[in-house]
């Protein structure tokens, strides 16, 4: 039902995706199609849609827009980022097949791979994808799937998508990139050699912290159709209302993330100079070990950063309570700024030992920089830090 927009520019694709397609009333903005079912034209004459788990006009529009933004052949929108990742595993991995995933992947992904592998659905190997020796497993262990997630959470480690894709393809593996932290506005993994992109659309794509959704976008049309078939088969496709809101959020994706990135750069620079801050992890800083690689494969450094705070744990609460413009909450990518404490929040499921091995210290905090004036955000952090220095 949709005709695709022709443009090289993500701003245009994201703003105009799905507009002006209503034949009945000429609505500029597409309505929400909440109907779960569709009448047949006649005996044995179904229309384009028959049942909303399989296909829904609101979901179709956002899927087409997402596929265009990532440069893929097709997208499936799912009920969450986790169901998108689960869908990929269901389609690609059989018992005995190996998945290679980053040691520092998203905690929910780690738990999913670990628990499903323990039931025998497939095998999983977690490696440090920046360690050439460990990367060798892609050649020697003949994985079926290699997952990359860059920048990583919470230390913003960068891995080389192009290099890993080449290695994986030599071994006949399929490369899946979790592009949640940057969105297609700042990184396009399919153009760097990945075969599939997954997102938690809950984050930057929707951008307003009011939808939980995910997507799987495939470069190959046949694989895209297989994902859509399985998405319906196992029933993980996204709802109409969520699809509507997601498309609405995507319209402002590019200016949102660009503005947030500029603010993140200001904040990272401010924090790096503050005596109470030990280390700032932000790929936009030349001191970050992934800076050069980020510059090469990304079109921006993003708006996520983390830092180590020189403060006794007993005073963390006092510090956090001084902040007015950073809400203590998990998640990321919304218009509002958030702060989270890694060890007790996003990575609480990891043992202390595992956190130490991953380089995550107990004084690490993560910021998701929102759209507030960066001057306010810096003043807020400065006031809280200065209060701690007394």
Ligand X SMILES: *Cc1c(COP(=O)(O)O)cnc(C)c1O
Helix residue spans in 19-154 (DSSP H): 57-70, 81-92, 107-118, 132-135, 137-140
Helix residue spans in 157-252 (DSSP H): 161-170, 221-234, 240-250
Site for ligand X in 255-314 (CB under 6 A): none
Helix residue spans in 101-252 (DSSP H): 107-118, 132-135, 137-140, 161-170, 221-234, 240-250
Closer to ligand X by CB, 182 or 277: give it: 182
Across the beta sheet with 338-341, what order do the strands follow? Answer: 277-281, 304-309, 364-368, 338-341, 327-328
Q: Which two tokens stand for residue 327?
A: 């809400």
The answer to the question of residue 82 lying near ligand X (CB under 6 A) is yes
Q: Which two tokens stand for residue 147?
A: 């997952």
Q: Which of 59, 203, 251, 366 is catalytic?
A: 203
* Cross-strand partners of 149: 178
* Cross-strand partners of 327: 338
Closer to ligand X by CB, 70 or 149: give it: 149
CB of 114 vs ligand X, minimal distance in Å? 15
Dist CA 113 CA 19 (whole Å): 38
The answer to the question of residue 366 lying near ligand X (CB under 6 A) is no
Q: Which two tokens stand for residue 151?
A: 């920048």
Closer to ligand X by CB, 276 or 335: give it: 335
Pick from 208, 209, 184, 186: which is nearest to 197 by CA? Answer: 184
CB of 178 vs ligand X, minimal distance in Å? 5
Residue 264, SS3 per DSSP: helix
- Answer yes or no: 51 catalytic: no
Closer to ligand X by CB, 117 or 211: give it: 211
CB of 194 vs ligand X, minimal distance in Å? 15
Q: Which of 60, 104, 160, 178 is catalytic?
A: 178
- Answer yes or no: 251 catalytic: no
CB of 362 vs ligand X, minimal distance in Å? 21
The answer to the question of residue 110 lying near ligand X (CB under 6 A) is no
- Answer yes or no: 203 catalytic: yes
The answer to the question of residue 116 lying near ligand X (CB under 6 A) is no
Q: Select from 81, 207, 249, 334 the one that contacts ligand X (CB under 6 A).
A: 81
The answer to the question of residue 212 lying near ligand X (CB under 6 A) is yes
Site for ligand X in 162-191 (CB under 6 A): 178, 180-181
**What number of chain residues touch ligand X (CB under 6 A)?**
16
Residues shown for the chain: 390
Closer to ligand X by CB, 82 or 338: give it: 82
Residue number of the CB closest to ligand X reads 81
Closer to ligand X by CB, 46 or 349: give it: 349
Classify each residue of 75-88 as buried b or exposed e, where b means 16 or more C-beta atoms within 10 Å of its C-beta. bbbbbbbbbbbbbb
Q: What is the contact surface with ligand X in residues (CB under 6 A)?
A: 80-82, 106, 108-109, 149, 153, 178, 180-181, 200, 202-203, 212, 214
Residues annotated as catalytic are 53, 106, 178, 203
């Amino acid at each position: 039902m949709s005709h695709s927009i022709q443009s090289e520019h993500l701003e245009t694709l994201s703003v105009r995706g799905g507009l002006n397609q209503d034949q009945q009333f000429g609505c500029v903005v597409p309505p929400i199609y909440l109907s779960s079912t569709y009448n047949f034209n006649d005996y044995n004459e179904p229309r384009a849609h028959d049942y909303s788990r399989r296909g829904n006009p609101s979901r179709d529009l956002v899927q087409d827009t997402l596929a265009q933004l990532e440069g893929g052949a097709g997208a499936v929108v799912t009920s969450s980022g986790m169901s998108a990742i689960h869908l990929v595993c269901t389609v690609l991995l059989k018992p005995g097949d190996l998945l290679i995933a980053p040691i520092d992947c998203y905690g929910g992904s780690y738990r999913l791979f670990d628990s499903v592998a323990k039931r025998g659905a497939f095998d999983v190997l977690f490696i440090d994808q920046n360690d050439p020796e460990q990367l060798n497993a892609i050649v020697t262990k003949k994985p079926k799937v290699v997952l990359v997630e860059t920048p990583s959470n919470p230390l913003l480690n960068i891995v080389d998508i192009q290099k890993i894709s080449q290695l994986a393809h030599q071994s006949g593996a399929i490369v899946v990139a979790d592009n949640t932290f940057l969105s297609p506005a700042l990184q396009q993994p399919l153009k760097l050699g990945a075969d599939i992109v997954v997102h938690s659309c809950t984050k930057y794509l929707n951008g307003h912290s009011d939808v939980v959704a995910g997507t799987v976008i495939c470069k190959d049309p046949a694989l895209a159709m297989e994902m859509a078939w399985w998405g319906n088969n196992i029933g993980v496709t996204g709802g109409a209302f969520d699809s509507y809101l997601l498309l609405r959020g995507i319209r402002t994706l590019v200016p949102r993330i660009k503005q947030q990135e500029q603010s993140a750069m200001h904040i990272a620079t401010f924090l790096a100079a503050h005596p109470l801050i030990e280390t700032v992890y932000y790929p936009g800083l030349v001191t970050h070990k992934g800076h050069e690689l980020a510059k090469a494969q990304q079109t921006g450094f993003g708006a996520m950063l983390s830092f180590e705070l020189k403060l006794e744990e007993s005073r963390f609460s006092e510090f956090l309570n001084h902040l007015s413009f950073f809400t203590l909450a998990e998640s990321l990518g919304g218009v509002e700024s958030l702060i989270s404490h890694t060890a007790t929040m996003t990575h609480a499921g990891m043992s202390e030992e595992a956190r130490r091995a991953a380089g995550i210290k107990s004084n690490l905090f993560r910021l998701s920089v929102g759209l507030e004036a960066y001057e306010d955000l810096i003043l807020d952090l400065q006031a809280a830090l200065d209060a701690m220095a007394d």
